[in-house]
Structure formats: structure tokens, C-alpha cells
Structure 1
Amino acid sequence: MAAAIAGSCPKSGGFQSPISLRDPNSSFLGGSLKGNFSLQLKPRKEQKKDSNISLVVAAAAATGSDNATTGSANRFYFNITGFPFPLGPFLNRRTIRTEAVKGSIWLFEQEQALGFSSVSTNIRMTVIKLKSGGLWVHAPIAPTKECIKLLKELDAPVEYIVLPTFAYEHKIFVGPFSRKFPKAQVWVAPRQWSWPLNLPLEFFGIFGAKVLKDEDCSTPWADEIEQKVLSSPEVGIGPYVEVAFYHKRSRTLLVTDAVIYVPKKPPECINREYLLASAKNGLAVKILSKGKKVTDEPVVDNEINRQKGWERMVLQILFLGPSNLLEPKASFAQMSQKLIVSPIVKTLVFSKVPEKVRDWIDRIARDWKFKRIIPAHFDGPIKAGRAEFLAAFGFLDDLLGERYVTRPSLALLFTSFMGKAASYFPPDDMKTLSSLDEFLVSVGAVKKTVSGRKR
């Protein structure tokens, strides 16, 4: 994420490929250690959503030759990742599979937790069945036994594995996932980089990968899926890169972190214990209570407390700490159930390169007549078209001033009326994120501006 759990600098890649202890092909060279060692142990959809989606599988049961293996073992996944943010859950990753477009597109979701905290969200892999009968896999997730079983139930070979970003929460699974399907071609977003050392992809267990190019008509899936690359100048210690895809037959837009839709209720894959832990009045809540009395009463497991935990999670993910965690409902209502650009991505990335972002989204809206959007985090699929997509980026007009007054009048209309609301975030909630941005700029980790920013 956002992005879900990270922005410009936090999303930097690094020594970052996982090591699956249950994968006999894994090795320490295939895995990576991203900076300081941190152990990565462990392991509904309510919105303007596509009516075609249906829950197909919530969990894969142990059957046949797997009789001795428990459901928990099927979800076991262990990897080493690290600096600056280890990503959980640490030993147990449940996989949820849904059918987004009948017989054509499936979504696979797992939980993604931030380090040792109770803050978590979902991470999504999208699988498209091509006319060849093979599968095109977008942003692979942890290849647990359960995940691979659910994928193989589609009864089609995996032909292509696609990494659409540089961000490490997606990159870490590409190597282990590709080893489960050695005949599949691996394609990656351009300008991959890692920090603190810029290492080649082979150090992350990714071998023989082809590079995705902007509007490339020579890819083996070009007749069915088109692509457009956002490749910005360095906004900090490295560039921000994301590739958007358009599945023509289903009129579906696939993005990674460009936009999100926060559902009112938590995704099914989110651990109940994490929700209840977030509902507790811990240190963060006391700090952000605006001086109000904070009780230390035990948290009862009920729907009210799970919802409170979800609301607090979302606000911490998107704002890194809103103005008031004690009473999160007002801020959550401002963020949820609409297509938006995550505040952390907007602040740390997109506001630094508004011209590049504007060119990318204008080309997407001009060339692709999509009717649904599937991001890699939070809700999906989202029933939304070009108007809603442009509206989410309404903040770019303020940054670019009068430079884009010649844009199509229809686009201007939507960004004027819808975009202001979609891109407005309460100033009090933005204080922590704005302070972080100022600090990162002051130490040179993030640039104040790269191009076109209104001063």
C-alpha cells in the first residue's frame, strides 16, 4: 500500500527475498537479508463492488496424501526479511480465493502485518486466464501449500509471473513463487533497486526475468492485456515505479498502489486477534487521545470491537497515526468507501512528481475503457471507471496550477466536483505524515520536488 503499509522510502526494496523452509529449491542466495536482519516468521467486501464476485474458497482442507498435514501446516510460511520493516504474519498465512470475473479472473488474498505490531491489511495476487488456457499471475503472494493448492484447482498451467512494482512487500515472494512453477516466464517492472545495497535481482531469487516496457506490443499477452509504466525520477533514495495493466476482454484495470478503496468492514483474511489487539487502548491511543481519559478495560471479542480495531488499523496504515485514535469513526468515514490515493503515497511520492503521474493517469483514462479496478491492497474488485479514477487524482490540479487547464472538459468536470472530496484528508490527521515528509526532505531521504510542483 498501499500502498498499504509503506510509502516512498518505507517501500524501498532491499535484501528482500523470502526463504521458504518448505521449498526444497530455496537457498540463502535465493533469499535475501535486506539490511539489518529481522525475522519474518508467521502465519467483506462491502462497497461499490462488482456484482460478479463470489467467494469460492476460504481455506484449503487437508485431504488425500495430505492427511497427516494440518490446515495450519498448509499455511506455514517462513521468510527472512528486514530493515526497515519486517513483514508478518510470521508463521501462518491464510489464503482466500475469490472469483472476480466468472471463469476469467481470480483474486488470492493473504494478510500482511507490519513487523511485530497488530497493524495489518491484506495483500492481493490477481490471476487471469488467457485465451491460451494458461494463467497470468500479477503480484504473487507467499506460495504456501494452501495457496498453491488453490491455484492448481484452476486446472491451468501458470505461464507468466508478473512483478508490477519495485516495492519489497511484493518482490519478496516472486523468487519462491517462481520456483513452484519453473516453466513460467517471470516479468518485472523496470528500474528495480534495493537499499542499502543496490543488488541484482538474482540476489532475491529472481532469475531470467524479462523487463516490462511502457505500451509494449511485443509481450506474449499483448493481444489480451495492455500495460503502461509509471517510472518517476528519484523521489528519494530511489525511483517510484508501477506498471498498470488493462485486461481488454473484461475491461479490468489492475494497479498495485496507485489507488485504493478502503472497505467498511475488514477483509476476511485479517486475523481476528490483530483486530482485537488494535481495539485495545495502548500507548498509541493514549498519545493520540487529545487529552481525553483513556480506559484500560479488557477488550471483549465482539463485532463492535473488531470494527474499532479495523478503523484504527486503517488510520495508522494510511496516516502513520491520525489525530485521534481513541475515537476513529469520523476520520475513518472520511477515508473509507470511495476510490482514493493513499495519503502516504500522495504525500511521499505522487506530490513530488505530479507531471509524471498526470501523464500516466491521463494515458490510462484516455486509452482504456475499464469498468472495474483491482488494486493490490484493501478492497477489490472496485466498480469504478475513468471518471472515478481521475477524481481520485484531483489533487494534481492544485499542484500543477494552470498548466493543465487545456485538459478535456469532461475530465476537468469530474476532477473539480469529485476529486476535491476524494483527495481531501483532514489536516489534523495529516500532521504526523506531514511532519515525516518534512523530516525526510530535511535529511535528503525524500526530495522536496522533482518537477512541476506548484510552490
Structure 2
Amino acid sequence: MTTLTPVAEGIWCRSAPQNFFGFHVGTRMTVVRLTSGGLLLHSPVSITPELRAAIDELGPVRHIVCPNLFHHLYAGEALAAWPQAVLHGPEKLQRKRGDLKFGATLTERPHPDWGGDFELVTIEGCLLGETAFYHRPTRSLIACDLVENFAHSDHLPTRWYLRLGGILGEVGWHRMLRLVYVNRRKARASFDRILQWPFERLVLAHGDVLEDDAREKLRKAMNWL
């Protein structure tokens, strides 16, 4: 595994192992160079010395983002590595993780440092509390748990899990996890706003990055909503 993988101009990713009830679903951090200067870390993974050195070579880390209520496990490691950075998270996450020193509440209103880079939409009617990031300069949608994209899995129980959920080899959202959408009308309205963005790729947390026809694939994957 390379330390950081470039996915677009000024955007890099780091994939890492992650289990979900014993299933090997992996996770992904996205690193974005801001036009205002410095870096933003979206959904941090465990910060090894090797990874920290690779990120430091790109520039100073100014912002660390927990984009929903569940992608926060390594936020403390990231903040310890870069204590000068501002930690962002939803209000509910800040109550959940009182041990973390948040510097800003994540909403649809971009931080002043992000004004030239991102547009944001928070998914209403969903227990995940996710805010999606549209990176205007590269037409990239950056999110964690909108959809998953697993072409295959080497882990047999994970293949069973993906197949039962209807997403092995298909871009989609596991049938079991659809229960987190408690108000589909509100969620559908949020997704319709996201689909208005002209994004060309989708950087997600679980599975492969969508590089081709990402907007249409997201639209089809969420037709059930």
C-alpha cells in the first residue's frame, strides 16, 4: 500500500483496514490542499509515523473533519499529530465525543478557509448525520457513507454480507443499512441537491473510488430512497 494515493489535482487518499461487525469493509481518508493554504483531512485514519511524514511533506494541516457521527475513531490521533489544526464535527458528535477538543461545528455553511473550495450538503432524515463535500476545483464529491462500491472481497463472510445486501459488484447501499434513513422524504430532497452538483468522481470511505460516471451511478444507487 502506498502512503498516499493522488486522485485529482490537490487531492490524495489513504485507504486503511476497518472492520464493521467483523466484516472487512475498510475505510478511507481524503487529504485536500486548500486554495487558502494548508491541508484539510477528511475522515482521518490511524496516523502512523510514515503517514504523518507524507502528509507533512504536502503542507501544514489546518483542518480535520469528522463528516458524520461515526467516522471519528481516529480524530484524536490526528489532532495529537497536528494540534494547531481545527477539528470539525456535527453538533451531535461533539456531545458524543466530549473527550475531543472540537474547534468548529460542521454545518452546510463552509468555514471561511474553505469558501473557494467546497459546497456542502447535510443529509437530512438520516441517523448518520453526514455532510457531503463538493470540491469545486476538481469536480469531486467527497463523502463517507452515501454509497459503497465493492467489486469483490477476499474475505468470505464479507462477500456473503455484501451479496445479501445487494451490493457485491454494484454501487449501492446495503439493504440492512437503509434503516438509518428514518425520513426518506427529507433524505431524498438532500440527495437531489447533491445530484445538482456537476461532480465527476466520488471519493467514498468503503470500497473503490468512483472515477467514471460517478453522478449517474450515485443517482441509480439511491433510486430506492
Q: Tell me, yes or no, whether TM beats 0.5.
A: yes
Specify whether residues 357 and 231 from structure 1 end up closer, same or farther in structure 2 by C-alpha distance, changes over 3 A only: closer
Specify whether residues 256 and 151 from structure 1 end up closer, same or farther in structure 2 by C-alpha distance, changes over 3 A only: same
* 1:157 alignment counterpart: 60
Supply the distance in 2 between the matched residues of 1:315 and 1:360 (Cα, whole angstroms). Answer: 31
* 2:176 alignment counterpart: 344
- Counterpart among 84, 93, 98 of residue 202 in structure 1: 98
Q: How many residues align?
A: 225
- Counterpart among 80, 101, 106 of residue 212 in structure 1: 106
Tell whether the 8 Å contact from 2:167 to 2:173 is kept in structure 1 after alignment: no
Supply the distance in 1 between the matched residues of 2:17 and 2:220 (Cα, whole angstroms). Answer: 29
Tell whether the 8 Å contact from 1:231 to 1:240 is kept in structure 2 after alignment: no
Tell whether the 8 Å contact from 1:190 to 1:241 is kept in structure 2 after alignment: no
- How far residue 260 of structure 1 moved from its aligned partner, in angstroms, is 1.3
Q: What letter matches 1:223 in structure 2?
A: G
Supply the distance in 2 between the matched residues of 1:344 and 1:228 (Cα, whole angstroms). Answer: 24
Alignment map for 1:56-135 (pairs within 5 Å): 58=1, 96-102=3-9, 104-114=10-20, 117=22, 119-135=23-39
Tell whether the 8 Å contact from 1:369 to 1:385 is kept in structure 2 after alignment: no
- Please tell me whether residue 260 in structure 1 is matched to residue 148 in structure 2: yes
- Please tell me whether residue 221 in structure 1 is matched to residue 114 in structure 2: yes
Describe the SS at the equivalent of 2:216.
helix
- Please tell me whether residue 137 in structure 1 is matched to residue 37 in structure 2: no
Tell whether the 8 Å contact from 1:100 to 1:381 is kept in structure 2 after alignment: no
In terms of fraction of residues, the more strand-rich structure is: 2
Q: What letter matches 1:160 in structure 2?
A: H
- How far residue 240 of structure 1 moved from its aligned partner, in angstroms, is 2.9
Tell whether the 8 Å contact from 2:11 to 2:32 is kept in structure 1 after alignment: yes
- Please tell me whether residue 315 in structure 1 is matched to residue 160 in structure 2: yes
The superposition leaves residues 376-432 of structure 1 with CA deviations (integer Å, 9 ceiling, x where unpaired) of 111114323432222111112xxxxxxxxxxxxxxxxxxxxxxxxxxxxxxxxxxxx
Supply the distance in 2 between the matched residues of 1:392 and 1:174 (Cα, whole angstroms). Answer: 29
Supply the distance in 2 between the matched residues of 1:218 and 1:120 (Cα, whole angstroms). Answer: 34
Q: Which runs of 4 or more aligned residues in structure 1 lie more than 6 Å from their structure 2 counterparts after TM superposition?
A: none
Describe the SS at the equivalent of 2:98.
helix
Tell whether the 8 Å contact from 1:260 to 1:375 is kept in structure 2 after alignment: yes
- How far residue 223 of structure 1 moved from its aligned partner, in angstroms, is 1.7
The superposition leaves residues 331-381 of structure 1 with CA deviations (integer Å, 9 ceiling, x where unpaired) of 9xx6334321222322x212x321121011001112x10010011111114
Larger Rg belongs to = 1
- Please tell me whether residue 181 in structure 1 is matched to residue 82 in structure 2: yes
- Counterpart among 200, 204, 220 of residue 391 in structure 1: 220
Q: What letter matches 2:193 in structure 1?
A: R
Specify whether residues 114 and 349 from structure 1 end up closer, same or farther in structure 2 by C-alpha distance, changes over 3 A only: closer
> Please, which runs of 5 or more residues in structure 2 have no aligned partner?
none
Q: TM-score if structure 1 supplies the norm length?
A: 0.46
- Please tell me whether residue 359 in structure 1 is matched to residue 189 in structure 2: yes
- Counterpart among 117, 130, 147 of residue 242 in structure 1: 130
Q: TM-score if structure 2 supplies the norm length?
A: 0.89
* 1:408 alignment counterpart: none
